[in-house]
A and B are shown apart, each in its own frame.
Chain A
Amino acid sequence: MIYSDEGQLKTTYAADMVIFPLAQDRTLFAILMLLAFVGIPALALAGIPPFHADYIFKAILTPFLILSLAALGLNILVGYCGQISLGAGAFMAVGAYAAFNFASRIPELPVLIAILLGGGVAAAVGVCFGVPSLRIKGLYLAVATLAAQFFFDWLFLRVRWFTQDSPSGSVSAPKLNVFGWHADSAVERYLLVLSIIVVLAALAKNLVRSDIGRQWMAVRDMDLAAEIIGIRPVRAKLTAFAVSSFIIGVAGALWAFVNLGSWEPSTFSIDRSLQILFMVIVGGLGSILGCFLGAAFVLLLPIMLDIVPGALGMPLSTDTVSNMTMFLFGALIVFFLVVEPHGLARLWVILKEKLKIWPFPY
């Protein structure tokens, strides 16, 4: 029995409340962090494939991290607080364009601060669009968030002030100067994004295991019962909208500043919103780990479909790949919604439970 809680008795409540109560999980997490922060950059420096090329950082790792963050933000609202939203892309756009305006109108402002301020503006906008959730639920709320999506698509395309008169709303981000550190190379950008995401994910994890997280889940599971124990559904929902939109806004700003460099409103269209919602559903509603699993899955599936059949000697055309991707996503979403709403994260937990008792059947 390698993976087991045997001999790991918890003697204090503080020890019982840590994120990874099992020593094996802690080790695994430490190895993962070490790999991400040191191992991968070292491989890149040493020029070992596939890390020798920028491709893996620019096209896979950095987008994966940023979209994981967006999924994390959306999961707080949808998975933890139970408020359905189809507007993640809109809040990414708000974060991106707000950060752009802060950075270009106040050139002295450090870029990192501009990005965080972008998140702050997205949080404020999120609260405004969260107000209808106090009255309407489910499908109707989804439609209201969809309205937010179309409103911001229009706003950034048509109102020139936000894009500083650039035609078609296409703008460019300032240089990534983080307190004197110029994050220019692909590896540096990856490290910048990784650091921000690790910090924000830790803060989010703390929130969901604190009182505010329990308030969100209480409102999700039964808002009437939540109210009789003194939880104010109004407050719980609006904080969920604020925190969720802040994280999504930061993700949007990172997507624009770090991943793209220059972008236009269509980057954050309804397609983006749906993609992030897919990640949350496939990864697992109400799970932080699930956001990362979901993002990895949604991003990697098309790449795999592109590479694997080719490697097996039967390459597929681009059309076939994109059709197959659509088809597989559709099927998976139906599967996860119907069979396992807790997604890949839940499958991971089940696997761990099985491992705990392995090699015995029960």
Chain B
Amino acid sequence: MNAPIPRRDIASSTSAPLLSVDNISLAFGGVKAITDVSFDIRKGEIRAIIGPNGAGKTSMLNCINGFYHPQAGSITYKGNKRERMRPHVAAAQGIARTFQNVALFKGMSTLDNILTGRSLKVRRGLLWQAIWFGPALAEQIENRIAVERIIDFLEIESIRKIPVGKLSYGLQKRVELGRALAMEPDLLLLDEPMAGMNTEEKEDMCRFILDANRRLGTTIALIEHDMGVVMDLSDRVVVLEYGRKIADGTPAEVKRNEKVIAAYLGVPH
């Protein structure tokens, strides 16, 4: 591993946000998943989103990458306030994500799964691909090299050709991270990437997330329940409860916040 790049203090930086969420509300019928939430994600930071189950964290990521369309409020990404957008458009603009429940392509190998992450980079059309040789092959090899770099990075060389359905849950989560990284995203949304993992797997995953952030410069939004992990990894934390934002700041600030303590200890307030 390379030495980590010296890090400017992102938490106190005033640089323009990569993404800002302004007064978003989202409801399903009568269920209010998100109520009037605003926060931003700065370029280069790891932004944690925490909160009890059902707080609206996953729904928030779904809004950011275009799965859900909030009924009120707006999302500004790379300086553009965006209209209702489809997930594939978000992907084309550099937003990648992983899911709380692994969402891999079960019938395909590790290699093919990660290669699908390169789909947006493919320029050669159907006819070239049918011919295979020539420019299409050159492009395939180019993408294969990029994917092999990720396989190397995530230390999953030995499972390259194995159908992902046969892998352990921990490895599947790793492959899913690989597929997201293959997109070379500007903003990576990770929904509980360490849930259900043992300590060793968690440590590996932490290392990969930090490396992706420091070495590849990827901005990351991270939903995580393990407070130790959140405190270690993140530059800033936003806390949701019952769909509302109850705190926002550095890990140290958030940890001291009374509302947060109450929410996590379940003290009525």
Q: Assess the A229–B108 pair: CB atoms within 8 A.
A: no
* Interface residue? B183 (CB, 8 A): yes
Q: Assess the A211–B145 pair: CB atoms within 8 A.
A: no
Q: Which one of A221, A230, A239, A243 contacts B108 once the chains associate, using CB atoms below 8 Å?
A: A221
How would you classify the secondary structure of chain B's contact residues: helix, strand, loop or mixed? helix
Distance of B5 from chain A, by nearest CB (Å): 27
Q: Assess the A13–B116 pair: CB atoms within 8 A.
A: no
With A13-B148, A206-B131, A211-B119 as given contacts, are A221 and B88 in contact (CB-CB < 8 Å)?
Answer: no
Residues 190-231 of chain A, each 1 if its beta carbon lies under 8 Å from chain B, else 0 = 000000000000011011001110110110111011111111
* Interface residue? A338 (CB, 8 A): no
Q: Assess the B116–A212 pair: CB atoms within 8 A.
A: no
Q: Please, which residues of chain A bring their CB within 8 A of the CB of B103? A: 222, 224-225, 228
How would you classify the secondary structure of chain A's contact residues: helix, strand, loop or mixed? helix
With A210-B140, A222-B105 as given contacts, are A230 and B92 in contact (CB-CB < 8 Å)?
Answer: yes
Chain B positions 40-63 with a Cβ under 8 Å from a chain A Cβ: none
Q: Assess the B144–A13 pair: CB atoms within 8 A.
A: yes
Q: Assess the B130–A207 pair: CB atoms within 8 A.
A: yes
Task: Sort chain B's interface into a size bin.
Answer: 35 or more
Q: Please, which residues of chain A bring their CB within 8 A of the CB of B132? A: 206, 210
* Interface residue? A14 (CB, 8 A): yes
Residues 8-48 of chain A, each 1 if its beta carbon lies under 8 Å from chain B, else 0 = 00000110010000000000000000000000000000000
Residues 109-148 of chain B, each 1 if its beta carbon lies under 8 Å from chain A, else 0 = 0001001111110100010011110001100110111001
Determine the distance from Cα of A211 to Cα of B132 in the docked complex, in whole angstroms. 11
* Interface residue? B242 (CB, 8 A): no
Could you jot down 14 A-B contacts, CB within 8 Å?
A: A13-B144, A14-B141, A212-B126, A214-B115, A215-B119, A218-B108, A221-B104, A222-B105, A224-B67, A224-B87, A225-B103, A228-B103, A229-B179, A239-B126
In the complex, besides A220-B105, A225-B104, A227-B88, 17 extra interface pairs with C-beta distance below 8 angstroms are: A13-B144, A14-B141, A203-B131, A204-B130, A210-B130, A211-B115, A212-B126, A214-B112, A218-B116, A222-B104, A226-B116, A227-B87, A229-B117, A229-B180, A230-B120, A230-B183, A231-B119
Please give the residue numbers on chain B whose beta carbons come within 8 Å of chain A beta carbons, in ascending order: 65, 67, 86-88, 90-92, 96-97, 99, 103-108, 112, 115-120, 122, 126, 129-132, 136-137, 140-141, 143-145, 148, 179-180, 183
